[in-house]
Amino acid sequence: MSDLPRRGKGEDRIPAEMPSAQRRKVAASILSADHAYLADQIKLVEEHVELIHIDCMDAHFVPVLSVGPVVVEAVRRVTALPLHCHLMVERPDALFEDFARAGADIVTSHVEAVEDPAKVVRKAGDLGMRAGLALNPETGVDAVVPHLESLDRVLVMSVHPGWAGQEFLDGALPKIEQVRREIDRQGLAVEVEVDGGINERTGPKCLEAGATVLAAASSIFKAARPGEAARRLAALAREES
């Protein structure tokens, strides 16, 4: 185990022993937030959501360059919610130590970006973080099935990674169903998170397919009242529980 401190603020909100299928959650994705007022934006929504989702992009794995550990550290100072860092980067495990120091609770790596997913998942755990694996729209569920027992979550991309505001891809729904069936077959409490084009219309479809976490960016932070938008999406999630 590393000598890094375990930064698990808010971890009691997601008890590992609770079956994931019984709890539906909303993750507010700050990709669409106004970063000039990021602390204020988070405060507007945090009472309605269970996680803060932070998209970290390197302009290599995806064309876009976004935030890194410095922003994660700043967010950590303003909220006790768990921080889920979605690493859309090449060699994500090379950055794990920096994200652990910054206060990340969960790191999700793209299965397409790693040679040995099992090794990457173990490294995240050694640094005190929970680990997820993400699937691009073109990637099949079989890529994550061998690793389910070690995962906190599977992240199904319902858009092509890189930009907020894209239209939801309906092809994600069968993948959500496949992941859900395999998790249930193995009797695991692994979250199924969906990221991309999530709103009050598409979110219920994902929940019906078996998702347990809705990551929403534009539908929350581009709304005229982000707090109200987060509240409505959370209410939909509770209805589906």
- The whole-angstrom separation of Cα 136 and Cα 110 is 8
Instruction: Report yes or no: 190 and 148 within 8 Å, Cβ to Cβ.
Output: yes
Backbone angles phi, psi at 227, to 5 degrees: -65, -40
Residue 1: pLDDT band with limits 50, 70, 90: very low
The model carries a pTM of 0.89
User: Which residue ranges make up each domain of the chain?
Assistant: 23-240
> Mean pLDDT score of the chain, rounded to an integer?
90
The helix (run of H) or strand (run of E) holding residue 195 is strand 191-195
Half-sphere exposure of 139 (CA within 13 A, CB side): 22
Q: Which of 58, 93, 152, 195 is catalytic?
A: 195
Specify the fold of 23-240: TIM Barrel (3.20.20)
Instruction: Report yes or no: 52 and 28 within 8 Å, Cβ to Cβ.
Output: yes
- The whole-angstrom separation of Cα 191 and Cα 167 is 23
Q: Which of 20-24, 110-114, 131-135 has the lowest mean pLDDT?
A: 20-24
Is the pLDDT confidence value at 3 over 50? no
Whether 195 is catalytic: yes
Q: Which of 55, 58, 105, 152 is catalytic?
A: 55
Q: How many Cβ atoms are within 10 Å of 68's Cβ, its own excluded?
A: 19
6 against 119, higher pLDDT:
119
Whether 34 is catalytic: no
Instruction: Report yes or no: 138 and 191 within 8 Å, Cβ to Cβ.
Output: no
Share of the chain above pLDDT 70, in %: 89
Q: Please classify residue 201 by burial: count the beta carbons closer than 10 Å to its beta carbon, then call 0-12 exposed, 13-18 middle and 19+ buried.
A: exposed
Tokens of 36: 């000039």
